[in-house]
Amino acid sequence: MTEKTKISRRSMLTAGAGLAATAISGTTIGKSMTVTPSNPEGPFYPVHKQVDMDTDLTLIEGHTERAQGEVIKVTGQVLDDKGLPVEGALVDIWQANTNGRYHHEDDPATMPTDPNFQGWGMVKTDALGRYAFTTIKPGAYMVNDEWRRPPHIHYKVSRRGYREITTQMYFAGESLNEKDSLLNDVAENERDLLVVDFNERDGVLHGNFSVVLAKVS
């Protein structure tokens, strides 16, 4: 049994406990909900398929070392605009490493790469619309001399019968959020839907990011 298999099984048990805590609330069902705001895909969506694209981005199959950086767990639900869970939605995430560099050949950044960071993962939601990822908190990075992007994770969420959403999840409390032009392009009354509070539990930061999809009419 590989180290990845051992960790993945342990992570699944931990994730299961976390998912149980995110079970759909009875007050949500039937309630009209705001569709998650979109945010640009950006230029660094992965272009080469990876062998390892599971929900633990901190350890690559066959590697003995974990990714550098602060480990975080992100859980959430995919819901429709009536508050009902969307089963079988594909949740696709990608992000920079702890140094603020993407695993992408076109990233011009000079920050160090991390050969042990997966950088890209996918999972389908369960019957209650739930998903979970273990990853690292991404680093901020410079776009140009005047613009430094705050830590963020890219999301693409899709399911037949619903409009696909591409967006970004941001971290609460980051000073760079206030000046980020992409986050500020989102309507002020919807901006908080993309910003997540993380709280420490059992030595790991946990955050919940749920996505609301609109049905195709």
Question: Which of the residues are catalytic?
Answer: 102, 141, 148, 152, 154
Spatial CB neighbours of 213, under 8 Å, sequence gap ≥ 6: 35, 36, 78, 79, 80, 81, 86, 89, 157, 159, 162, 163, 165
Look up tokens 């550098």; give the residue. 68
What radius of gyration do the chain's Cα atoms show?
A: 17
Smallest CA-to-CA distance from 169 within 207, 130, 196, 135 is with 196
Q: How far apart are CA 39 and CA 41, in angstroms?
A: 7
